[in-house]
Structure formats: structure tokens, C-alpha cells
Amino acid sequence: MRELELKSVIKVCNMDELSAEEKHLIELAIEATSRSYAPYSKFHVGAAVRLDNGVEIIGCNQENAAYPSGLCAERTALFAAGVQYPDVPVRMLAIAARGTHGELEEEPVPPCGSCRQVMVETETRANAPMRILLYGKKYVYVIDGIRKLMPLTFSEFQR
């Protein structure tokens, strides 16, 4: 038996270390948290996508009493981008969250497994990695491509 060590490279930055474009996308994700429909979990998540053509699209989580009929913020934004601009790669995705207390989370909130898989498919479809920005009040995680966050992706086994 042997062990396989997988490594994720995640940059940890302060907001002032980010580009104006990255800050703007995070601000859109923060704004999107206020549009979230989360009456059950009270956990409001916003996402913002910037496409290669400069178009920005936001999404937020949408809960439903008939769980699991709701949808995460990341997927609402990525699916909306895919519908409106199917041939335009996603260049960047920002995610922010407000906890049950109503305040922005102190630390970055990572995407769930389903959202990670959708990110894999989005990158695979466009044949281009996206920069992922996970916002927290203390710091921001910057990840260059979903494979840095999820190195063993399902699509790699299907192609």
C-alpha cells in the first residue's frame, strides 16, 4: 500500500491586497447576500461571476421547504451565466456569506461539494480555470481554479 498526498494551494489575502476587479466582484457577492431567500437556515450566501466578456452575474441561495429543492448561491450564478452566455468562460467567482446572526462571516465559507462539482464542470466546459474568491471579514481565500480546491474531480474519470 502507498499513500497519495494531495496538496491544495490557497492564497490568504487581505482585501487591500486584491485588485480593484476582485474587490468589486466581492462587493457584488456581499450585496447578493441581501437577496438570498433563506427562511429555514437563516444562512444567506451571495455569489458573483465575472465572465471573460466582462459581464457580471450574481446569484444567491434559494431555500425551499421541500428540501433539497433549494439551490446554493454559487450554482444560481454559474447556471445563470451558462444559460445567458453558454460559450463564454467564467473568469472569476466570488462568494460571501452572512451567518444566522445577520453579520458577514469572519472567515471565508467554502462551497459545498455539489457546488464544487458544478465549478469543475464549468471549467471543463470552457476549458479554462476560474479564479475563486472566498470572502471573510478577516481575510479572503484566493484559489486559482477549482482543481486546487478539489484535486480529484469526477470529470477526470469520465473523459
| Residues forming a β-bridge with 132 | 93, 143
Tell me which residue of 58, 68, 59, 135 sits closest to 95, measured CA to CA: 135
The span from the CA of 56 to the CA of 54, in Å, is 6
Which of 74, 103, 106, 121 is an active site residue?
74
21 as an active site residue: the answer is: no
Query: CA distances (Å), 88 to each of 2, 34, 116, 131, 137, in order?
Result: 41, 27, 19, 15, 31
Determine the Cα–Cα distance for residues 33 and 12; give it in Å rounded to an integer: 22
All three cell numbers of 37, joined, read: 431567500
Q: Catalytic amino acids?
A: 74
